[in-house]
Amino acid sequence: MKTVFDAEVDAALIDRSLAGTTLGSVWLDTDRPQHPPAAGPTTCDLLVVGGGYTGLWSALHAARRHPDRRIVLIEADRIGWAASGRNGGFVDASLTHGYENGKSRWPNEIDALEHMGMENLDGMQAEIDELGLQVDWQRTGMLTVATEPHQVEWLEEAAGQGQGRALDEAQVRAEVDSPTYLAGLFSPDTCAIVDPAKLALELARACVEAGVDVHEHTTARQLISGGAALRVHTDGPVITCRQVVLATNVFPSLLRRNRFHTVPVYDYVLATEPLSEAQLDRIGWRNRQGVGDSANQFHYYRLTADNRIVWGGYDAIYHFGRRIDSSYEDRTESYRRLAAHFFITFPQLDDVTFTHRWAGPIDTNTRFCAHWGLAREGRVAYVNGFTGLGVAATRFAADVCLDLLDGVTTARTGLEMVRKKPLPFPPEPLASAGIQATRWSLDRADHSAGRRNLLLRALDAAGLGFDS
């Protein structure tokens, strides 16, 4: 069976809409302050490796916990240049990549995890206000839509579990008008939207104001732990420290043991030109909710401060050998597919063009949400595996890392989610074969009224299934 997104779209319309796009994140198309590379041997109490959200929250909260300690953060490229500057800007409360994923893995902890997730989201909003971070924060809620008949039942079940308010077809189209919508689920409190690059840049500013030394263009090459101190060799100086937080996420870890726990999966995004008031009126999108559909291969989309639509998702591309390569970012077929799906969703906007196209790798693991660990006699903490839902979860993850390094027992460190790691991915060629088979099976499920085949059911039974 076909889905709504298998409909034909005029190739000339797709050509015209993409003709003027620039390869690069719309969020990073802005002036960014420079932070100098590390120069000369450095000694500190805590070294944070990685200048994305995880590293920035870790450095900031460490400085606020221990203002007497010297904290250094190094970034191989620019602050927020990778996932933190390329995501959709959805700040979701979930720590487990959705309620169903969390419930299936930690049924005895799901209530606590949901509470901690909301507490973290509320705390993030309060901290942004307290520090005066200018990040275009809007607590607009999340609208999940059904575009196939079987998804209507899924949303009704979610509403019955208290995950939001069910909307029928007329009600959901009154919020955002698309002929593809059959029903909706609105969760008013569990999600905010933000300018993701501004969040990274503003967190870096807050770090500097809190006394953190922030260095860009400083690549960590090796971690040596012999003796009383840790030594991190960079492409510049050696940094000597007592503790380290590794916040490199999708990029290869300085700890060899951790490299098989995540794989990079490429996600693709488009951004439109700013919509006029007349164009916004055609789709009625006035409450600025984040929107996502309910398929296994799902789309996510939201409005920016200047009324562009950021439109991403669907394709999730893995390359053999866990490779990360900038050449993977310009994938014509993915952008054309995204454009086609946009016009299927909003045929009223057939005069809209796209200005930006971009992609980036998501760090995913076999449980599809973050995992933590300690190494080198408890002096090195790390976290990975956010699987594309980390804008809020990274703040929680940073606090877990600091708790672990401080050696304190907290409600966070007591979680089974924190204490146990996911299964690693197998080596190649098994990893690639398994991932591609799973992707094919998820696509088949979307084309079979949601019915999961033998492979997906086996993965579910083994605790390796994905439910977004």
Q: What is the DSSP annotation of 387-444?
A: TT--TTHHHHHHHHHHHHHHT---TTTTSHHHHSPPPPPPPTTHHHHHHHHHHHHHHH
Between CA 427 and CA 101, with CA 438 as vertex, the angle to 5 degrees is: 100
CA dihedral 434, 436, 439, 444 (to 10 degrees): -100
Q: What is the mean pLDDT of residues 361-372?
A: 95
pLDDT score of 468 more than 80: no
CB 97 within 8 A of CB 37: no
CB 71 within 8 A of CB 212: yes
Q: Supply the DSSP symbol for 182.
A: S
d(CA 431, CA 77): 29
Q: Report CA-CA distances (Å) from 212 to 59, 66, 463.
A: 7, 11, 40
pLDDT score of 456 more than 90: no
Confidence of residue 466 (pLDDT cuts 50, 70, 90): low
pLDDT score of 91 more than 90: yes
How high is the pLDDT of residue 260?
86
91 bridge partner residues: 192
Structure token pair of residue 311: 């439109």
How high is the pLDDT of residue 448?
87
How high is the pLDDT of residue 453?
87
Q: What is the mean pLDDT of residues 314-337?
A: 95
Helix/strand/coil for 190: coil
pLDDT score of 298 more than 80: yes
Helix/strand/coil for 42: strand
Domain boundaries, the chain: 4-29+142-188+263-364, 42-130+196-261+367-419, 430-461
Confidence of residue 302 (pLDDT cuts 50, 70, 90): very high
pLDDT in tens, 170-219: 999 999 999 999 999 999 999 999 999 999 999 999 999 999 999 999 99
Tell me which H or E stretch contains 23. Answer: strand 22-23
Q: Return the CATH fold of 4-29+142-188+263-364.
A: D-Amino Acid Oxidase; Chain A, domain 2 (3.30.9)
Tokens 């606090």 belong to which residue?
A: 399
Q: What is the mean pLDDT of residues 413-430?
A: 94
Give residue 141's identity as a one-letter amino acid code. Answer: G
d(CA 180, CA 169): 10
How high is the pLDDT of residue 463?
73
Confidence of residue 410 (pLDDT cuts 50, 70, 90): very high
How high is the pLDDT of residue 467?
54
* Average pLDDT of the chain, as a whole number: 95
DSSP E strands, 213-353: 213-215, 220-224, 230-234, 238-246, 263-272, 290-293, 299-303, 309-317
How high is the pLDDT of residue 234?
97
What are the two backbone dihedrals, phi and then psi, of residue 453, each rounded to the nearest 5 degrees? -80, -175
Q: What is the mean pLDDT of residues 339-352?
A: 98
Helix/strand/coil for 45: strand
pLDDT score of 449 more than 90: no
- Indicate the class that CATH gives domain 42-130+196-261+367-419: alpha beta
Lowest-pLDDT range of 114-118, 273-277, 440-444: 440-444
Cβ neighbours of residue 170 under 8 Å, at least 6 residues apart? Answer: none
Structure token pair of residue 384: 């990975």
CB 54 within 8 A of CB 166: no
Helix/strand/coil for 2: coil
Helices (H), 288-363: 332-345
pLDDT in tens, 101-149: 999 999 999 999 999 999 999 999 999 999 999 999 999 999 999 999 9
CB 262 within 8 A of CB 324: no
d(CA 379, CA 243): 5
How high is the pLDDT of residue 465?
66
CB 425 within 8 A of CB 260: yes
| High-pLDDT (> 70) share of the chain, % | 99
